[in-house]
Amino acid sequence: MPADTDLIKLYSGRILELASDIPHHNRLDAPSVTVKKRAPLCGSTVTVDLLIEDGRVADYGQDVKACALGQASAAVVGANIIGRSRAEVEAARDQLKAMLKSDGPVPDAPFDGLEVLQPAKDYKNRHASILLTLDASVEAFEQQAQGDCA
């Protein structure tokens, strides 16, 4: 069990700063696809709207109801997802998952700002919340590719 001082490191000023300033926090009027995901353990939810044009994110909106860690993750993703392809978003999700679960490296640029969440690797109950935005974005690409947009 991590010590209280570890919790202080976990909720660093940078994480709290990111959590308080989430880019693209408004839903889109006419997205290509919308996905809502929930982390069952903590109850965090994220709804993402993607406008996909020519295989890339042309516009992005999100509604985030999560802990500060999930919000910080959503902030980094929101600041960097426009212009990205499905492969880039999947790679960011997979790299973030590896960073949290198997001590992998920080995700590649432009998602390298997710490095701020490295201290959360010891808090397995927070991993799902941290991954929500990228999980939902990957699922949105999958639904769009299948023509099953909600």
What's the rounded mean pLDDT across residues 17-23? 83
**The tokens of 109 are what?**
């640029």
Question: For position 149, what pLDDT does the model report?
Answer: 55
Which has more confidence, 95 or 4? 95
Residues whose CB is less than 8 angstroms from the CB of residue 91 and which lie 6 or more positions away in sequence, other chains included: 107, 108
> What value, to the nearest 5°, has the Cα angle with vertex 99 and ends 140 and 130?
50
**Tens-digit pLDDT profile for residues 118-128:** 999 988 989 99
Question: For position 1, what pLDDT does the model report?
Answer: 46
Question: For position 6, what pLDDT does the model report?
Answer: 53
Output the CA torsion sign for 22, 92, 46, 131.
negative
**For residue 36, what are the β-bridge partners?**
47
Range of the domain at 116: 4-146
Do 86 and 138 form a contact (C-beta atoms < 8 A)? yes
In 3-136, beta strands by DSSP E: 33-38, 45-53, 56-65
Whether 15 has a pLDDT exceeding 90, the answer reads no
Considering its fold, how many domains does the chain have in total? 1
Whether 19 has a pLDDT exceeding 90, the answer reads no
Helices (H), 2-53: 4-10, 13-19
Which has more confidence, 58 or 148? 58
The predicted model scores a pTM of 0.88
Do 35 and 139 form a contact (C-beta atoms < 8 A)? yes
Question: For position 8, what pLDDT does the model report?
Answer: 52
Q: State the helix-helix crossing angle for 124-146 and 68-80, rounded to 10 degrees.
A: 40
85: domain CATH number? 3.90.1010.10
**Tens-digit pLDDT profile for residues 98-139:** 999 999 999 999 999 999 999 999 889 899 999 999 999 999
